Structures are given as structure tokens and as C-alpha cells.
């Protein structure tokens, strides 16, 4: 038996090394062998690998411990343990040789392609799939499926809708077609997608809550600071309904719209969302979704950050909650300087009494050199105990105590003036062309700079209208350039921290931009209310997964670079059982994707066995 093991090991080692050397002259050479270690009280079996490098050095490492002789006997199930262990090692070597041997692909110049046979497949979705399964979305789908009786695979449908939303954004019909470009073919038909949308809409809140819970195992999530903002999406229809209403579109589209309220955490990862009719004021949308998030997600002691459009008195009071002297809810909100009472407006615009973070000196804005302080931020602050909402308050109501923090930035001043100058130039062109009769629709409309007068310079009424650039409007706006204000009820946080927290609000704007531009979440083509809700839950999960991918990549690449790379990661399939050949360009980004995911698709060819291994890795329970 010992002779058998020795000869088997020798032959196995010789064949594996010789064969592998023939196919891998510039790589490490290795083979596996059985090693039996005997001691006074036990016998142990090991699988070891001999590695020989091109420089001539060699070493042996242990690949797997099969166990003691008693444990191996249990695995052998009546077979001689030595013989079973040797055959196990032989099988490992055979599989490794099959996985790594070179593949010869026969082509014929006279043979036509098969009709309808796909030869090119996308593998970029695998990096999204790795995150999808790490978030336990497959388990969430299984739990949802248990509540309903349907035959389609909800997990397959949801995952493909998400991958196509990121890589090939299109309608549900387009997503169904594009899903066939992935290596793993869809198990559903178009009608299954539309049937699943009602289920996804019904379970939207459950999916969001479970996604948040599961995400805490994937990355650390800050629960103390939350950002909330709203946007809207338009529809290519003419008639409004209960959800899709005519309202003020942020894209200035004269079409029915639906509003979305989105919560985001401090690290830019989406937290929760809800949708509301397009003609509804966005300010009242904060309370219901905030209540749901705090209750369902088990949050406490939160700071809610919003912009000026959501900084109503009601929202500020809603987030001013203490219990036994401990503050449970706080707010940091942008404050419109123009809407402040006159005496506070005067305080804000006063050039005296400014400071720099970490500097005890007091500065005057009159005396600073803006070019040398271009990237610095000056500030002043004061506590106010008066109502600054501009609305009448009930008699006896205690005014909300707030910390008003005002900042001034030469860089921000220059940016505002550059933007305004572009609007002024457009206003001049409108006057010259005669197209000046429209009224300003919003605060950025160049028509606001155009003045109309029907009197002479002596104050007499005349028939001819005098059209000119209104310099008073320009001067009035210029006095606010560079200034920015926030209000908060936090009393134990430094001014520097509050400014730093508020600066992160740009990330929620970026979330909306990604959904609208990269994921093409607008215009929305689905019609029924439950299908609209399902559309937005898929967009929300897509954004969730994409933001995590950005974090994995170290936030070194733009959204466009990542989506373009994933879209272009195509693999050609020369024939059945002949594997996959990458047809994309290897770059630093593809290297980073492979490094963070823990698998590679950029070998010269990947046989079917190894590709199945990669797919299993992306679905492995994390």
C-alpha cells in the first residue's frame, strides 16, 4: 500500500508538473500531493502543494487538512482511508489541470453562425451582483415571495432590473431585452416583470427597512446625522391623475410630475424614500417619512439637515425634541438671508466681527485680501430667541431658540458673480433680439434683470416702451454674494462642526443627479400608481448599490467612468463549452473592480468551470 501511494504521488506529480510547465512556461508551477504525518498517538492526512518558480526556487505549502485517520475513515465510508485520500488528491489535480490548461478553439471560414445565437455577453454586472447578494436582497425577495403565490423568480427579476438600470438604463421593455446580454440568462418573461411591479410597490417600506438593516453588516453606517431633500420626476403624458400632477418642475418641464423625498446618511448612502403628488408642497413631506425612518430603523438622537426649501417653522419645531434634558432630535437647516428680519439682515451683511475657524482674531471684510483668502471661510454667529419665520405666531407661543451661523467665502462670492454675469449676458441678448416680454419664472431666470418703463426721462407717460437692464436688481443681489447662513438648535457642537456637517448636503443633490442623468429615472414611462412606486424602489436600490461600489473604489472615479466601464466589460463566447474571452480593455479601474470584489474576469480566456466559480462567489453569503 505504501508503494502504491509513493508511485501514485510520483506519477501524479510528474504528469501535473510536466503538463503545467508545457502550458505555463512563465508562471508558477504547482501540483498537489498527499502527505501522511505520523506521530506516537495519531496519524494525520494533508493535501500539500509543491510550487516551483521560474527562478528555480521551490517550496511546499499545505492546501487542506483532511483530518486524522478516524476522521478520514468517516469520509471514506468503508473505503480504505489511504486509498480514498490519494484518489481525493488525484481528483483535485485533475480539476486544477482542466481549469488551467490552454484551450484550442477551432474556427471555420466556411461555417455560418447559428441564427439567433448570442456571442457577446456583459460581465460588468457581476460587480453589482456581488454587492446585491452581500446586502441580502435575495433573502429579502424570498421573504416577500412567501407572502404571495406566484411562479416567477422575484429575485431574478429585481436583480436584473437593478443591473440594467445602472448599466443599460431604459424602460421595462428595454430592461427585459438588455437582461439577455448578461452571462446569466433571465428566467422570466416581460409579463412577469409587470406582474412583479405591484408586489415591489406593496413591499417598498419593508424592502427599505430590511436593506438598511442588512447594510450595517456590509459597511458602518452613521445613524446620528441624516440629510433630507426633495426633487420631482416628469412623465411623458398630457393628463394628470391622483399621483401625477401638474406642479413646479425642477426640470422646467410643462408635464405632470411626481415628487420624491429622500433621506441620506452622513456617508452619502441612501436611507429611505417616499413619493408624493407633484402638486404637493414639499415641506409637509418631511414629517411622515422621518417618523417611519426613526421607528422602523430604531434611530435616536438624530440631527436632520435640510435646505432652505424645507426649513419651515413647523419642520424646525418637529426636530426640536428633548427628554430629561437630553436632546433626541435636532436640526441644521439652510437659512435664507433675504427672508431674515431687517435687523438680522443688517447683522449678517455687516463687514465687522468676522472670524476664521481655529483663529481667535476678529476680522473686517473691508480689510481682507480676497485673492489670498480665496479658499478661506469666515464666519460670525449669534443665538436668537425671536421668531424669524415672518409669519404671525399664536399668543403665548414660545419662540424657538436657534443658533444663527453666517459664513462668507471669497470663492463662493466669485462663483455667484460668474453665474449671474452669464444670466446678465443672456438678458442683454433678449433685449437686443426683442424677446423680453416674458416674466421671470424663477430666481435664475434672466428676465428678472429686464426693466420695462412707459415714461420719459422727465416722468411723462409716452406710447413707446423703454426697455433696459435693471441695475438696481443686480446691485440688490450682489450685496448677498459670498454669504451663506444656517440655523440650528444644537448647543454642544462647535461652529466648525456645524459648517462641516452642512457642507455634506451636496451629496444628496448628487444622488438625485445620478438617478436622473446616469440611471435615466426620468421621464417615467410606467402609468399605474403601483408601477410608478415599483419604478422608484428599483431606482432607489440601484442608487444604494452604486454608492457602495463608489465607496469600495475609494471614490477615485466619476459616476460616468464607472458606469461606462461596467457597460463596456464584454466577453465573447466562441462556442458552447469553450469559455469566455474578455473583449474589453484592462485599465486601472477594471483592476480596482477585481481587487475589491475578490475575483478576476480579465484572464486571456475563462473556461466554463472558472466562470461558474466566479458567479458562485458573487452570490456567496457574506
Asked whether the beta carbons of 516 and 522 are under 8 A apart, the reply is: yes
State what percent of residues in the chain have pLDDT above 70: 85
Pairing of strands 302-306, 225-234: parallel
Interval 559-584 mean pLDDT: 92
Given this model, what pLDDT does residue 402 score? 92
Interval 60-76 mean pLDDT: 87
State what percent of residues in the chain have pLDDT above 90: 49
Given this model, what pLDDT does residue 327 score? 78
Q: Is the pLDDT of residue 4 over 70?
A: no
CB-based burial of residue 227 (10 Å sphere; 0-12 exposed, 13-18 middle, 19+ buried)? buried
Estimate the crossing angle of helix 154-167 against helix 137-145, to 10 degrees. 140
| Cα distances (angstroms) measured from residue 259 to each of 201, 237, 255 | 16, 16, 13
Interval 363-387 mean pLDDT: 91
Please tell me which residue, 134 or 25, carries the higher pLDDT value: 134
Given this model, what pLDDT does residue 546 score? 96
Interval 48-64 mean pLDDT: 76
The average confidence (pLDDT) of the chain is 85
Q: Is the pLDDT of residue 26 over 50?
A: no
Say which range, 5-14, 177-186, 277-286, 330-339, has the weakest mean pLDDT: 5-14
Phi/psi of residue 405, nearest 5 degrees: -120, 125
d(CA 328, CA 490): 11
**pLDDT tens digit string along 423-462?**
999 999 988 887 777 777 678 888 888 887 765 555 565 5
Q: Is the pLDDT of residue 556 over 70?
A: yes
| Cα distances (angstroms) measured from residue 355 to each of 45, 362, 379, 405 | 73, 5, 5, 12
CA 406 from chain center: how many Å?
A: 31
Please tell me which residue, 615 or 396, carries the higher pLDDT value: 615
Asked whether the beta carbons of 289 and 274 are under 8 A apart, the reply is: yes
Phi/psi of residue 229, nearest 5 degrees: -155, 165
Q: Is the pLDDT of residue 532 over 90?
A: no
E strands, 28-107, in order: 29-38, 43-52, 58-68
**pLDDT tens digit string along 233-264?**
876 554 555 554 455 555 555 567 888 999 99
d(CA 191, CA 150): 12
DSSP labels, 15-45: HHHHHHHHH-TTS-EEEEEEEEEE-SS-EEE
Phi/psi of residue 256, nearest 5 degrees: -60, 145
Asked whether the beta carbons of 95 and 608 are under 8 A apart, the reply is: no
Q: Is the pLDDT of residue 192 over 50?
A: yes
Please tell me which residue, 574 or 363, carries the higher pLDDT value: 363
- Give the model's confidence band at 287: pLDDT under 50 very low, under 70 low, under 90 confident, else very high: very high
CA 354 from chain center: how many Å?
A: 38
Identify which of 354, 334, 316 has the alpha carbon closest to the alpha carbon of residue 487.
Answer: 334
Given this model, what pLDDT does residue 531 score? 87
Please tell me which residue, 533 or 97, carries the higher pLDDT value: 533
d(CA 300, CA 213): 15
SS3 content of the chain, % helix, strand, coil (to 5): 40, 20, 35
Given this model, what pLDDT does residue 395 score? 64
**pLDDT tens digit string along 129-174?**
999 999 999 999 999 999 998 889 999 999 999 999 999 998 888 9
Q: Is the pLDDT of residue 580 over 90?
A: yes
Given this model, what pLDDT does residue 256 score? 74
Asked whether the beta carbons of 526 and 146 are under 8 A apart, the reply is: no
d(CA 234, CA 250): 9
Given this model, what pLDDT does residue 391 score? 61
**pLDDT tens digit string along 457-508?**
555 655 566 788 889 999 999 999 999 999 999 988 899 999 999 989 889 9
Amino acid at each position: 500500500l505504501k508503494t502504491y501511494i509513493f508511485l501514485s504521488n510520483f506519477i501524479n506529480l510528474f504528469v501535473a508538473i510536466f503538463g503545467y510547465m508545457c502550458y505555463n512556461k512563465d508562471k508558477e508551477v504547482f501540483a498537489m500531493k498527499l502527505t501522511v504525518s505520523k506521530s506516537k498517538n495519531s496519524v494525520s492526512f494533508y493535501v500539500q502543494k509543491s510550487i516551483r518558480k521560474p527562478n528555480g526556487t521551490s517550496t511546499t505549502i499545505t492546501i487542506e487538512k483532511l483530518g486524522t485517520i478516524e476522521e478520514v475513515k468517516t469520509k471514506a465510508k468503508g473505503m480504505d482511508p489511504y486509498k480514498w485520500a490519494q484518489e481525493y488528491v488525484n481528483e483535485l489535480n485533475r480539476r486544477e489541470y482542466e481549469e488551467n490548461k490552454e484551450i484550442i478553439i477551432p474556427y471555420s471560414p466556411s461555417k455560418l453562425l447559428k441564427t439567433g445565437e448570442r456571442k457577446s455577453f456583459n460581465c460588468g454586472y457581476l460587480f453589482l451582483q456581488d454587492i446585491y447578494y452581500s446586502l441580502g436582497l435575495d433573502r429579502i425577495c424570498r421573504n416577500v415571495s412567501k407572502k404571495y403565490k406566484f411562479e416567477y423568480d422575484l429575485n431574478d427579476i429585481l436583480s436584473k432590473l437593478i443591473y440594467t438600470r445602472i448599466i443599460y438604463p431604459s424602460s421595462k421593455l428595454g430592461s427585459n431585452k438588455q437582461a439577455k446580454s448578461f452571462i446569466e440568462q433571465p428566467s422570466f418573461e416581460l409579463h412577469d416583470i409587470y406582474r412583479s411591479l405591484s408586489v415591489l410597490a406593496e413591499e417598498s417600506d419593508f424592502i427599505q427597512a430590511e436593506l438598511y438593516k442588512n447594510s450595517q453588516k456590509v459597511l458602518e453606517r452613521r445613524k446620528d446625522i441624516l440629510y433630507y431633500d426633495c426633487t420631482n420626476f416628469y412623465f411623458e403624458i398630457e393628463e394628470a391623475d391622483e399621483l401625477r400632477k401638474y406642479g413646479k418642475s425642477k426640470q422646467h418641464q410643462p408635464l405632470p410630475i411626481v415628487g420624491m423625498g429622500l433621506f441620506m446618511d452622513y456617508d452619502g448612502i441612501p436611507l429611505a424614500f417616499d413619493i408624493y403628488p407633484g402638486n404637493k408642497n414639499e415641506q409637509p413631506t418631511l414629517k411622515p417619512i422621518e417618523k417611519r425612518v426613526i421607528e422602523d430603523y430604531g434611530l435616536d438622537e438624530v440631527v436632520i439637515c435640510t435646505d432652505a426649501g424645507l426649513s419651515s417653522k413647523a419642520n424646525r419645531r418637529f426636530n426640536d425634541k428633548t427628554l430629561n434634558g437630553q436632546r433626541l432630535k435636532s436640526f441644521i437647516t439652510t437659512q435664507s438671508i433675504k427672508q431674515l428680519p431687517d435687523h438680522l439682515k443688517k447683522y449678517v451683511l455687516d463687514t465687522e466681527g468676522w472670524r476664521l475657524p481655529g483663529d481667535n482674531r476678529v476680522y473686517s471684510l473691508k480689510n481682507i485680501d480676497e485673492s489670498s483668502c480665496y479658499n478661506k471661510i469666515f464666519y460670525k454667529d449669534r443665538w436668537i430667541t425671536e421668531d424669524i419665520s415672518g409669519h404671525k405666531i399664536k399668543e403665548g407661543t414660545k419662540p424657538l431658540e436657534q443658533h444663527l451661523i453666517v459664513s462668507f467665502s471669497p470663492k463662493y462670492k466669485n462663483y455667484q458673480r460668474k453665474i449671474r454675469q452669464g444670466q446678465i449676458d443672456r438678458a442683454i441678448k433678449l433685449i437686443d433680439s426683442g424677446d423680453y416680454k416674458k416674466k421671470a419664472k424663477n430666481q435664475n431666470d434672466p428676465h428678472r434683470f429686464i426693466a420695462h418703463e412707459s415714461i420719459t426721462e422727465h416722468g411723462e407717460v409716452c406710447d413707446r416702451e423703454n426697455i433696459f437692464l435693471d441695475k438696481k436688481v443686480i446691485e440688490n443681489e450682489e450685496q448677498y454674494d459670498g454669504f451663506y447662513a444656517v440655523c440650528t438648535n444644537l448647543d454642544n457642537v462647535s461652529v466648525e462642526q456645524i459648517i462641516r456637517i452642512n457642507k455634506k448636503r451636496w451629496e444628496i443633490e448628487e444622488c438625485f443627479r445620478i438617478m436622473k442623468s446616469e440611471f435615466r429615472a426620468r421621464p417615467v414611462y410606467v402609468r399605474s400608481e403601483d408601477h410608478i412606486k415599483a419604478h422608484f424602489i428599483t431606482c432607489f436600490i440601484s442608487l444604494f448599490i452604486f454608492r457602495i461600489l463608489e465607496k469600495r473604489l475609494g471614490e477615485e472615479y466619476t459616476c460616468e467612468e464607472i458606469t461606462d466601464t461596467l457597460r463596456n466589460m464584454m466577453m465573447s463566447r466562441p462556442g458552447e463549452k469553450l469559455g469566455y474571452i474578455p473583449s474589453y480593455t484592462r485599465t486601472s479601474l477594471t483592476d480596482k473592480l477585481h481587487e475589491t470584489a475578490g475575483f478576476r474576469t480579465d484572464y486571456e480566456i475563462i473556461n466554463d468551470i472558472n466562470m461558474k466559480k466566479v458567479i458562485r462567489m458573487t452570490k456567496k453569503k457574506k
